[in-house]
Amino acid sequence: MSAEGILIMTRAAPYGSSAARDALDAALTCSVFEQPVTLLFLDDGVFQLLKGQSPTEISQKNLNAVQQSLPLYDIERLCVSRSSLDSRGLGTDDLILPVEVVGDAELPQLLSQHRHVLSI
Amino acid sequence: MIFSIVVQAPPIQCQGAETALRFARALLDAGHSIHRVFFYRDGVHNGSALTCLPQDEVSIPEQWQALAREHKLDLVVCIAAAVRRGLINEHEAGRYKKAHWNLAEQFELSGLGQLVEACIQSDRVVTFGGRS
């Protein structure tokens, strides 16, 4: 399989830093430039997709609103690490969008399917 | 091979920016070309003209400038990340009604599209400071 598109890897919780928002901005820009883009959520990055966030109490914008627009930008491949979900007691029912759950052993293949990997 | 470099590490608090600089020099020494260096997140501080260091410390922004002058590098600072952090050029100073600006020569402000374009044009894209 020839590698194409960009995989954006995000590992940070949604509001402790700007990383989640910065990764989303990069993904949306890829889409605007018609580059196939996959988002990979690892480690605390899986918290980004949790339903029911209310960050306005800490003066932050709700990421869920932007995330729900991802399908409109043709960003439909959202991959989530199974071990990251498991170790945090989370399941796909806790997440705001349908995701592809990826086992640790499958991660190298996922990365190699893409032409570039950006870690944000 | 054609490379692009993404710098997310700020120049003082993290080693990543200096590592990126050395990686860029190593690429050029090895005969590769660098399509673009893109500064994102706190990496935008690499583009400050107002960094002041003790005499026995090296200025990372000045080193980027010197490398860019020597090899005609395209140093692009993400405009959205930069203006939020108070890194602006004369044009943005006018737009936001600020009395001063501080983007160093050799750097230019542009959008995230320049990062995507760098991915399209390059054989390899290497990120520094991506986990900070």
A32, B113: Cβ pair inside 8 Å? yes
Domain that holds residue A81: 6-119
Number of domains in chain A: 1
**Chain A residues contacting B via beta carbons under 8 Å:** 6, 9, 11, 18-19, 22, 25-26, 29-30, 32-33, 35, 115-120
Rounded CA-CA distance B115/B36 in Å is 8
pLDDT at A10 exceeding the cut of 80: yes
Asked if B49 is an interface residue toward chain A (Cβ–Cβ < 8 A), one would say: no
Mean pLDDT of A93-119: 97
pLDDT at B98 exceeding the cut of 70: yes
Long-range contacts of B81-87 (CB under 8 A, 24+ apart): B81/A22, B81/B39, B81/B40, B81/B41, B81/B43, B81/B44, B82/B39, B82/B44, B82/B47, B82/B109, B83/B109, B85/B42, B85/B44, B85/B45, B87/B44, B87/B45, B87/B47, B87/B48
Q: Would you state the structure tokens that stand for residue B113, as one six-digit string?
A: 């599209």
What pLDDT score was predicted for residue A1? Answer: 46
Report the predicted TM-score, pTM, of the whole model to 2 decimal places. 0.95
> Is residue A75 assigned to a domain?
yes
Domain that holds residue B95: 2-128
Nearest to A120 among B111, B120, B130 (CB): B130
Q: Which CATH number fits the domain that encloses residue B64?
A: 3.40.1260.10
